[in-house]
Amino acid sequence: MLSISGYVPVYLTRDEERIYNGELGWVFEKAMRVVVKIGNIMGADRLVPIDHAHISGVGYANIGEAGLSLLRDLYSGGARFSVYTTANPGSVDEYSASYFSYGDRFISGQKEILEIFRGMGVRAFTCTPYYYREPRAGEILAWAESNAVLMANSIYGARSNRESGLLALFEAIIGRTYRGGLIRSENRVPQIVFRIEARPRNIVEYGVAGLIVGEISGDRIPYIDGISFKRHEDIKAFLAAAGSSGGMGMILIEGVSLEARGIGGRIDIKSLETISIEDKDLRRVSEDLECGDVDAALIGCPHASQEIVEELARMISERGVRASKPVWIFTSPHVYEDLARRGVVDTLTSKGVKIFTGICGVISPLNSLGYRCIATPSAKAAFYLPKLAGVRFIYMDLPEIVEKMFK
Ligand code: F3S
């Protein structure tokens, strides 16, 4: 490719040039051209193979008829994934459509999107692809779900830019990403520091701490000092919330992130802007937003882990209570299968809990079904429910959900 006045575009191998020039058809050409264009904008020097692509923007509520029409064109044009690919959940599937009856057009549109993605080669619909196929340190990904990108970069030590859904789809088709942004070591360094003086007590407060970090950081990579997590679910809640209010793809956490080790030898941390978060900050964030008269409780944004579902089942069993209002758990198909094998699904459903697998309750028109106020322990859900589902929320940790939503 030509170099114009010092500008060095992405280098392409002969095979990549053939794709770029349309020798494998218009779908591959389009995918390659988009990835190269973004690579040029990001200052990438070449393309690199990816081990796993993860696509977002699967919900009919997100992409609508225009997105569906583009997917139809790509699929009929031969779009198939050339690498291991997973995708975010949609709003409903064949098993949940009678419960979440969003209307014939919505449901048939959503089902068609899922069918097209399955036809292209999606292995699973989940927003926790790191439970489905755990990323290895150093491997290259093209992931588009913010909580997943943050987990991959910050916890597993893998490398992914925070892609848009469409870009991840094109990267899944050509099996490559551009070597720029968070793929390169020199860009994986902190730009702002947070000293966490607060002591979060539960996943609600870990999530609220994440919302604050995300909002203040914007696109900058934070370094987090002073936070301790009791369990995996706390980290997940913190990162998912930070990725909702912020635009970063990585957070370096002292004592947790592989790449936070020895960071002081590489970066002058003291020269960075430093923000303290105290207990009073965690309690202040949601006060004006919360609703009172709860219609339903939503657990599983991001998709619930085995750990949290089992914890809920244990609490309900110990108290001998039954759901007095709708209580929904959203989880991934493989987590659901494990829970079903061990009898946890039966325990919960016999107590009136609804467990949905492979769908998302947040990016869904819940207001069209008459829901107005949703209780949730998830700060990410709280961030999106008013914007995307048209409902208000109230924070409730699991013990409070058991206390208030069961009798
Ligand atoms: Fe997953 Fe939906 Fe939350 S895709 S992260 S449950 S908004």
> Are 151 and 67 members of one domain?
yes
Tell whether 180 and 193 lie within a shared domain.
no
Confidence band for 2, pLDDT divided at 50, 70 and 90: very low
CA-proximal residue: ligand 1, atom 3 (nearest): 301
- Whether the Cβ atoms of residue 390 and residue 307 lie closer than 8 Å to each other: no
- Whether 45 and 102 map to the same domain: the answer is yes
Q: Which of the listed residues 359, 363, 385 should we mutate to test ligand 1's pocket, taking the one with most ligand atoms within 8 A of CB? A: 363
The whole-number average pLDDT for the span 281-304 is: 86
| 297 Cβ below 6 A of ligand 1 | no
Q: What is the mean pLDDT of residues 169-188?
A: 98
For residues 62-71, b (16+ Cβ closer than 10 Å) or e, as one string?
bbeeebbeeb
Among 162, 303, 366, which residue has the most ligand 1 atoms within 8 Å of its CB, making it the best to mutate? 303
362 CA → ligand 1 middle, Å: 6
Is 291 domain-assigned? no
Distance 317 CA to ligand 1 centre (A): 27
Residue 20 DSSP symbol: H
Q: Residue 349: give its domain's CATH number.
A: 3.30.499.10
CA distances from 6 to 33, 43, 44, 371 (A): 21, 12, 14, 57
Residue 24, in any domain of the structure: yes
Q: What is the CATH number of the domain that holds 53?
A: 3.30.499
Angle (deg, nearest 10), helices 146-154 and 232-245: 120
306: pLDDT strictly greater than 80: yes
Residues of the chain above pLDDT 70, percent: 97
301 lines ligand 1 (CB under 6 A): yes
- pLDDT reading at 284 higher than 90: no
Pairing of strands 327-331, 296-304: parallel
Does residue 230 lie within any of the structural domains? yes
**Is 88 touching ligand 1 by the criterion CB < 6 Å?**
yes
Any ligand 1 atom below 6 A from CB of 127? yes
Going by C-beta distance under 8 Å and a sequence separation of 6 or more, which residues neighbour residue 266? 189
- Across the chain, mean pLDDT equals 95
233 Cα to the center of ligand 1, angstroms: 15
CA-nearest of 158, 166, 231, 171 to 201 is: 231
The answer to whether residue 327 is domain-embedded is: yes
The pLDDT assigned to 3 comes to 47
Residue 302's identity, in one-letter code, is: P
Q: What is the pLDDT of residues 231-254, one digit of tens each?
A: 999 999 999 999 999 999 999 999
Give the per-residue pLDDT at 36: 97
Dig out the tokens for 235 from the structure. Answer: 């980290």
Residue 8 lies in a domain: no
The answer to whether residues 269 and 227 belong to one domain is yes
Asked if residue 38 has its Cβ within 6 Å of ligand 1, the reply is no
Taking CA atoms only, the protein residue closest to ligand 1 atom 6 is 301
- Mean pLDDT across 310-318: 97
382 touches ligand 1 (CB under 6 Å)? no
Give the model's pLDDT for residue 263: 87
- Asked which of 124, 156, 185 is the last residue of a domain, the reply is 185
One domain, residues 275 and 205: yes
- Looking at residue 6, its pLDDT comes to 55
Residue 322 has pLDDT above 60, yes or no: yes
CB atoms within 10 A of CB 33: 16
Q: What are phi and psi of 329, to 5 degrees?
A: -115, 130
Q: List the domain range (segments joined by +) for residue 220.
A: 189-286
Residue 279 domain-assigned (yes or no): yes
The overall longest dimension of the chain from CA atoms, in Å, is: 74
If asked whether residues 40 and 178 sit together in one domain, one would say yes
Q: Are 171 and 258 within one domain?
A: no
Residue 311 inside a domain? The answer is yes
Q: How many domains does the chain have?
A: 3
In this structure, are residues 45 and 36 in contact, taking their beta carbons and an 8 Å threshold?
A: no
Q: What is the mean pLDDT of residues 361-389?
A: 96
The last residue of one of the domains, among 264, 286, 308, is 286
- Helices (DSSP H) in 246-355: which residue ranges? 279-284, 306-319, 333-341, 344-350
Q: Which of 241, 264, 286 is the last residue of a domain?
A: 286
- 239 and 225, same domain (yes or no): yes
